[in-house]
A and B are shown apart, each in its own frame.
Chain A
Amino acid sequence: MKRLVVIAICITAASCALRPAQTRAELDEQVGKTEVAATSWEVRDGLAQFVDEQPGELTLWAQAPMWSLEADPADASTTTWRLRLNNVMPDGELDVVDGDATVARVDQPHPTRQVWDVTLDADGPARFEFAPPDALTAEKWRFAALSDVQEAIGTVGEIFARINADERIRFVVSSGDITDIGSAEELSRFQDELRALDVPFYTTTGNHEEGSPDDVWPKLFGRTNFHFDFKGTHFSFVDSGSGTVDPLVYDWLDGWLAHARDDVHVFIAHIAPIDPVGVRNGSFRSRHEAAKLQQMLAEGRVDLSLHGHVHSYYLFERAGVPSYISGGGGAIPERFDGIDRHFLVVDVAPSSGVDSVGVVRVD
């Protein structure tokens, strides 16, 4: 009896956890750092993760179209490395930007997978940058948004085929719920399914990814909260899968909002701060925290807010920020809403903002 009482108390206490996303946020700070064969490697801002490490060979999973990599081979006997880069821009290239090192592309077995040989100078560190040639140019461009695949992982290839048909789409962003329970097996399988997609897929976590231990996601995908910019457009991915954003992440978001204040800025989080159907409350667990976040986004002049969680399509405005819920990846759909599987295409003009957001129906 006492044991049952203790268990009941623990369950109740856990359900009232004040910082359920804390561990995931803290693990973000460790992403993109490793030391192998006396050589330390670090991806700036954790925009890529080392998913496999062997002496002389590293495999990275990218979470941004361009990112910076530093290598410090202090007293290293191994100076030649093979880098397998996954989920990268098809036209991206790895260049040496600092230090005495050389790089050479070996193979590109898939549009989003490249293999490079890197030779380091044993006497000093080197810095590399991976980016497509037009990463810093500011002409109009397009990206797609797709979330909430979950149990429909077996048919997500049909959606990818539709995305591939639009050559203007440079990459896909997702607010999460790409798996059903977030297990390592499901996440790995999703990465395999991404072989059917010709462009990279950058994503944060949803509530369905909460089901697994917090360290599963970082090992395969990297950070749950991250920020990058591409062609004059900033993207902030924030983990709201627990119906809240961790206080640590708000500190980061402050900096990202300040950094992107005068540029086009897209905010991506799985659970919207406030559900457009308020009675349903498929949103933050505290309306006060939701309003706090909306005020931050409004003050930071965010141009677009993208969410999932609700398996339908909604266009609404919160604190003056145009917001979309697009959960059309195939998970059990909302009924009577007139829409089934779909994804969004977003056209951005860096000089003026978000040009348009269109819906592409797959069914």
Chain B
Amino acid sequence: MKQLITIGIFAALWLAGPAFGQELTDEEARAASSKARAPDSSATRSVRDVSTSPARFQRAERAEDAPDTQREIKGGLLPGMASLVPGVLLHGSGTFVAGDRETGLKLLKWQGISTLALAASFTELVLTGASRKTIWLSAPTVLLSFGTFTQTWLADIYGAFSGAHSTGSAALALPKLRLDVGYRYVFDPQFDYRNFTYLAAEFWVDRVRVSSQNWLALDDANVRTGLLGDWRIIGPTHDEYASNGSTLDLRMGARFARFGGEGFSVLTPEVQMRGRLDLGEVGRSLEGAFADASVGLGFEVYDYDAAGLPFGSDVNSLLLGGFGFGLYHDVGNPGGEVRLYYDHRHDTYAGGAHLSDLGGGVPGYFGIETHFDFGHWGIGADLKAGSAYIGGLNVRYNGWMPMAPMPTVSESEGSP
């Protein structure tokens, strides 16, 4: 039955897809993209035209506007090696050797800041024995500072090898509707489930993205679902273009999981701040890359089947947070991204990684995800490793594609 539902959803999308928007020819799409100029970096622009190809930020004009005195940035093997040695200790060494000295120094600065923050918060943890009174501050500080430390190094490696050649560009606006249908394999020796249907959907209402992710076990009485709302404070939406891929969201929502075989359910309301920095805003050699981080809090409300226990008999707090580093790519139209990430929450199927001795139970899980969009359709893949190994593929449908921006008066050849 579950398999039939999955096939039915996919078939419905395949049949109904063309009703959700018009498609441009490749020539029209390229023409629309080339007209998308970067406005003031702090501004977003309303979407007005009839074309429907999702525009991606073209940074060619940046090179055209570059001062003649600007140093040539040339990535390659030598800068790449520098990003490893001494780059592993001095983040920014690679981009510095590649010629983007300003970016190299920025990365070094942020490495220093994150190192200090990490040292201070970790020292506090040790000296206080992870005191219940101070853990609320020290734990997220350790998480975010370690994330920043990692991201500066990864950014340096990327910038050192890529130089001024970007892997891709960010989407300036987003489809109003996005549907994912796929399969996930979960190998966790603690549980009987293995095979899952994965269903996800997101829909934009003004600056709010409403999303839902659902896992349905095909071989066990297990289901996980969630309903989340992201208020986009900064960044692209369906209706408004942004000048780059940076985002800042306030997320609120709840997730629910039912473990029928094990006899418990858990409801987790949560709130998070989530942000992404388009690293092209940091330096030329980092164009095409991004770094993200999140921090928040959840409360798990447990319901055990054991006799006599009412719903909510246990409530546990849960530190939410993580960080990632990724690259935009232009494979497909408009392309997509690949992202390497760490997620500290321990309440997903991936659980948390094992770290012996001091770290027992503390680390979260790691993952890598990617997607490729080809107009309305796309594919995605996801791998996670923690206390379980998870892998999967999904088909993506993008509906109500964003429209290309109107050219401005200064860009047009005549009167508007």
Residues on A close to B: CB < 8 A?
1, 12, 14-20, 181, 207-208, 210-211, 241-244, 247, 250, 271, 274-275, 277-289, 291-292, 294-295, 298-299, 309-312, 317-320, 332-337
- If A16-B385, A271-B360 touch, whether A332 touches B129 (CB-CB below 8 Å) is yes
**Out of A279, A281, A311, A312, which one reaches B361, CB within 8 Å?**
A281
Whether the Cβ atoms of A280 and B139 lie closer than 8 Å is: yes
Given the known inter-chain contacts A18-B387, A278-B316, please indicate yes or no for A291 contacting B266, CB distance below 8 A: yes
**Chain A proximity mask over B130-155: 1 for CB below 8 Å, otherwise 0:** 11111110010000000000000000
Judge whether B262 and A291 touch: CB under 8 Å. yes
B362: chain A residues within 8 A (beta carbon): 243, 281-282, 285
Report if B127 contacts A (CB, 8 A).
yes
Min distance, Cβ A301 to any Cβ of chain B, angstroms: 9
Q: Is B392 an interface residue (CB 8 A)?
A: no
B interface residue numbers (CB < 8 A to A): 84, 126-136, 139, 187-191, 257, 259, 262-264, 266, 297, 300, 302, 304-309, 313-314, 316-319, 346-347, 349, 351-358, 360-363, 365-366, 385-389
Q: How far is the CA of A210 from the CA of B354 in the complex (A)?
A: 12
Q: Which chain A residue has the least Cβ–Cβ distance from B387? A: A286
B309→A286 contact, CB < 8 A: no
Cβ–Cβ < 8 Å partners of B262 in chain A: 288, 291-292, 295
Which residue of the partner chain A has the closest CB to B132?
A277
Closest 7 CB pairs of A and B: A286-B351, A285-B352, A278-B317, A243-B361, A298-B306, A334-B129, A207-B360
CA distance A291 to B260 in the complex (A): 12
Known interface pairs A288-B347, A299-B263. Does A319 touch B386 (Cβ–Cβ under 8 Å)? Answer: no
Give Cα A287 to B319, complex, Å. Answer: 12
- In contact, A244 and B133 (Cβ under 8 angstroms): no
Residue of B nearest to A294 (CB): B304
Instruction: Give every chain B residue within 8 A of A311 (Cβ-Cβ).
Output: 129
Residues of B contacting A19 in the complex (Cβ-Cβ under 8 angstroms): 189
Chain B residue with the shortest CB-CB distance to A244: B387
For A280, give its contact among B130, B187, B300, B307 (CB under 8 Å): B130
B264 touches A291 (CB 8 A): yes
Please tell me which one of the listed residues B314, B316, B347, B361 contacts residue A282 in the complex, with CB atoms under 8 A apart. Answer: B361
Cross-chain contact of B131 among A17, A320, A337 (Cβ < 8 A): A337
- In the complex, A337→B357 CA distance in Å? 23
A277: B residues at CB distance < 8 A: 132, 135, 317
> Are A334 and B132 closer than 8 Å at their CB atoms?
yes
Given A295-B306, A336-B128: A286 and B318 interface contact (C-beta under 8 Å)? no
Given A243-B361, A279-B136, A287-B318, decide whether A16 and B354 contact each other with a Cβ distance below 8 A.
yes
Q: Given A278-B300, A286-B352, A336 and B131 touching (CB < 8 A)?
A: yes
**Cβ B360 vs Cβ A295 within 8 A:** no
In the complex, what residue of chain A is closest to B318 when comparing beta carbons? A278
Please list 18 pairs of residues, one from A and one from B, whose beta carbons are closer than 8 Å in the complex, sorted by A's number. A15-B354, A17-B354, A243-B360, A243-B361, A277-B317, A281-B361, A285-B346, A285-B387, A286-B387, A287-B346, A288-B347, A292-B264, A298-B306, A299-B263, A310-B130, A335-B133, A336-B132, A337-B131
CB within 8 A of B354: which of A1, A211, A283, A285? A285
Distance, CA A50 to CA B61, complexed state (A):
78
Measured in the bound complex, the distance between the Cα atoms of B347 and A89 in whole Å is: 43
Residue among A271, A291, A295 with the highest chain B CB neighbour number at 10 A: A291
Task: Knowing that A16-B353, A335-B131 touch, tell me 10 more A-B residue pairs with CB under 8 angstroms.
Answer: A15-B353, A15-B363, A18-B387, A280-B130, A281-B319, A282-B130, A291-B264, A294-B304, A312-B129, A335-B128
Specify which chain A residues have a CB less than 8 angstroms from the CB of B300 in the assembled complex.
278, 287
Q: Which residue, of A241, A247, A288, A309, has the highest number of chain B Cβ atoms within 10 A?
A: A288
A320 touches B308 (CB 8 A): yes
Q: Which residues on B sit within 8 Å (CB–CB) of A210? A: 356-357, 360
Known: A278-B317, A336-B128. A18 touches B189 (CB 8 A): yes
Q: Most chain-B CB neighbours within 10 Å: which of A20, A241, A277, A284?
A: A277
Is the pair A283, B361 in contact by a Cβ cutoff of 8 Å? yes
Chain A residue, CB-CB nearest to B128:
A335
User: B356 contacts which of A18, A207, A335 (Cβ < 8 Å)?
Assistant: A207
In the bound complex, residues from chain B placing their C-beta under 8 Å from that of A285 are 346, 351-354, 360-363, 386-387
- Residue in B129, B306, B389 whose beta carbon sits within 8 Å of that of A299 in the complex: B306
Q: A312 to B135: give the CA distance in the assembly, Å.
A: 14
Whether B360 lies near A16 (C-beta < 8 A) is no
Q: How far is A287 from B361 in the complex, measured between Cα atoms in Å? A: 10
Q: CA separation between A133 and B128, bound complex, in Å?
A: 46
What is the CA–CA distance of A282 and B250 in the complex, to the nearest angstrom? 28
CA distance A247 to B190 in the complex (A): 6
Residues of B within 8 A of A271 (CB): 360-361
In the complex, chain B residues whose CB is within 8 Å of the CB of A1: 84
- Closest partner residue, chain B, to A311 (CB atom): B129
Q: Contacts of B136 on A, CB cut-off 8 Å? A: 279
